[in-house]
Chains A and B, each alone.
Chain A
Amino acid sequence: MLRQIESIGARGLEVVESIGRSVVFLYQSLVRVPRPRTSLPLLIQQLYSVGVLSLVIIVVAGFFIGMVLALQGYSILVRFGAEQALGQMVALSIVMELGPVVSGLLFAGRAGSALAAEIGLMKATEQLASMEMIGVDPLHQVIAPRFWAGLISLPLLGMIFSAVGIFGGMLVGVDWLGVDSGSFWSNMQSAVDFHRDVLNGVIKSIAFAVVVTWIAVFQGYDCVPTSEGISRATTNTVVYGSLAILGLDFVLTALMFGDL
């Protein structure tokens, strides 16, 4: 009994310690005098591999989610004769909720896991150690550009997701199911408020970007440098990243729209 309590305590301490380590890690990676000449090319390279390469999955997923949403929404709204409101329904649910959350989840799966695996493998093959011995801090050379790339990419990807989703919804709603194009768009425009809905969605995206990228680079950097350790780091990135997004989404939604 006592031993069980002890082991729970030890586990708790481990978690707290690891959180502490990750905060120090992030601080050491990001707080430094900026050197645009060396950092910028690294950042651009990472923006490509983290952001641009995630575009396909984001666009395809956004498109289908928009279409499904329009299809489902129409079948419900039409019962009340309210199919004119399809535009606002699709736009609000995508911009406020599905856009940031689903793009965040996809990002954790596509880019987060890749980051963790790449950094973990660099650690296992002593590339990080050799970089340190060359006198270059891997936190600045490897971690920081990846973190900033994630932070910049995800909000942009989230916006692209929302735009494509609304386009998909329009295709199904207007072109296929015959909702009037004018009322689809004008209802959407009158119902969606830029500050309350769009901006809050982007803020959510930024928060998810910080959390997911942070988890990914930390898991990669902190992993046990064996094949098992790397696989655990990738799994952890996706699991913790997804759970963090969903949990954080609730908190943020409550803060943003809770007083309605």
Chain B
Amino acid sequence: MSESFQPNQSLVSSANLENARLNLIREDQPRIRDAAAPEPATLNQWIEAEAENYVEIQNLSFQRGSRIIYDDLTMSFPKGKVTAVMGPSGTGKTTLLKLMGGQLQPTSGSIIVAGVDVARASRTELFDVRKRMGMLFQSGALFSDLSVYENVAFPLRAHTELPEDMIRDIVLMKLHSVGLRGARELMPSELSGGMARRVALARAIVLDPEMVMYDEPFTGQDPISMSVLLQLIRLLNDTLELTSIIVSHDVQETLDIADYLYIIADGRVIGQGEPKEVMNSDSALVQQFMLGLPDGPVPFHFPSQNYRDDILEGRH
């Protein structure tokens, strides 16, 4: 995508200049560009190449029934970085990923992923954008009727016309990169939780996406698989030049890996910045979350009536 043309590149030759002039006249060419470079097919690709952020969320509101999950949320996720979204359970972190994937529709606001507003995209556009993102679900979400090999091959079979031996090569490469090439004949039910998540990761990156979203990748992992996962996420991000978004409430692991942090609670961003900045934040809510204090702005008790009254009420 962005490697193939650079909108800001200066024009080098007079022939190009001439071409560019011609392009200027045409209404569908919004800007002068290097005529030698391949033409961007759509306006969306222009916008995308221009943007430094792979995902832009603007004034997003979302409610489920009468419950407001997000209220006027604005966030951005820079290209090529690991950005983490943290927050207490039940704040709708997974919902945020589903909104980005276009699986849920926001009440208002826009979510621009790779230049496409997924909140307003048609079903076809949405499926096209999704081919460019991978998502690692909390449970792994492997297809239980397919073997490990077939699970990883699934996106390739669905979206490409590659011959079988090439599919095999790609699948083995991806499985090798998560260390599970030897487990390709197993069924998902025969895998441990950590292995299932690694297979799911291999499946998420098999189409070489531009962005990978991780939904609670560290939950329920033993220390070994945890560090394997941490290493994999970082490595994949840096070698494949991915944009990574991690949703998690595991403070330590997330601090280790994230380039940028968002902390959300009560439907809005309560803290953001690089991990160090967030750690030193003076917001009581952020401090409570980062240090894991049982009581604070987020109360220990679910809202209820007076304790004494409640106890005595039963005596009448």
Bound pair: A and B? yes
Is B155 at the interface (CB under 8 A from chain A)? yes
User: Are the CB atoms of A135 and B155 closer together than 8 Å?
Assistant: yes
Residues 91-127 of chain B, each 1 if its beta carbon lies under 8 Å from chain A, else 0: 0000000100101000000000000000000010001
A-side interface residues, number (CB < 8 Å): 15
A133 touches B101 (CB 8 A): yes
Known: A125-B144, A126-B137, A127-B143. A134 touches B103 (CB 8 A): no
Pick from A38, A129, A137: contact of B127, CB below 8 A.
Answer: A137
A127–B151 Cα gap in the complex (Å)? 11
Any A CB within 8 A of the CB of B5:
no
- From B128-136, B166-174, B232-240, B255-263, the one touching the partner chain is B128-136
Is residue A17 within 8 Å, beta carbon to beta carbon, of the partner chain?
A: no
Contact with A along B156-174 (1 / 0, CB 8 A): 0111000000000000000
Beta-carbon contacts of A121-157 to B below 8 Å, as 1s and 0s? Answer: 0100111011111111100010000000000000000
Q: Are B144 and A127 in contact (CB under 8 A)?
A: yes
User: What residues of B have a CB within 8 angstroms of the CB of A133 in the complex?
Assistant: 101, 103, 130, 133-135
Whether the Cβ atoms of A135 and B158 lie closer than 8 Å is: yes
Query: Which residues in window 189-211 of B have CB below 8 A to A?
Result: 200, 203
Given known contacts A125-B139, A126-B137, A129-B103, A134 and B158 CB-to-CB distance under 8 angstroms: yes
CA–CA, A92 and B59, complex, Å? 68
Q: For the complex, give the distance between the alpha carbons of A127 and B138 in Å.
A: 11
Give bound CA distance, A156 to B133, whole Å. 43
At the interface, yes or no: B141 with Cβ under 8 Å from chain A?
yes
Q: How many whole Å from A121's CB to the nearest CB in chain B?
A: 8
Known contacts A125-B144, A135-B155, A135-B158; is-contact A130 B130 (Cβ 8 Å): no
Complex Cα distance A92/B139, Å?
A: 54
Distance in angstroms from B59 CB to nearest chain A CB is 24
A134 proximity list for chain B (CB < 8 A)? 130-131, 154-155, 158, 203
Cα A133 to Cα B127 with chains together (Å): 8
CA distance A137 to B203 in the complex (A): 17
Chain A residues within 8 Å of B203, by CB: 134
Q: Hey, which chain B residues are within 8 Å of A127, CB to CB?
A: 141-144
* A126 and B123 alpha carbons, distance in the complex (Å): 19
**Interchain nearest-CB distance for A60 vs B (Å):** 27
Select A125's contact among B123, B141, B155, beta carbons within 8 Å: B141
Within the complex, what minimum Cβ distance (angstroms) separates B41 from chain A?
18
Given contacts A135-B155, A135-B158, A136-B158, contact A130 B135 (CB under 8 A): yes
Q: Tell whether, in the assembled complex, residue A135 and residue B144 are in contact, meaning their CB atoms are under 8 Å apart.
A: no
**Proximity string of chain A (166-190) to chain B, C-beta cutoff 8 Å, 1 when within and 0 when not:** 0000000000000000000000000
A206 to B128, CA, bound (A): 36
* B137 and A130 within 8 A (CB): yes
A residues sitting closer than 8 Å to B (CB atoms) are 38, 122, 125-127, 129-137, 141
Of the A-B pairs whose beta carbons lie under 8 Å apart in the complex, a sample of 28, sorted by A's number, is A38-B158, A125-B139, A125-B144, A126-B137, A126-B139, A126-B141, A127-B141, A127-B142, A129-B98, A129-B137, A130-B135, A130-B200, A132-B101, A132-B130, A133-B101, A133-B103, A133-B133, A133-B135, A134-B130, A134-B155, A134-B158, A135-B127, A135-B128, A135-B155, A136-B155, A137-B123, A137-B127, A141-B158
Sample of 6 more A-B contacts, CB < 8 Å, known A126-B138, A129-B137, A134-B131: A127-B144, A130-B141, A132-B101, A133-B101, A133-B135, A135-B130
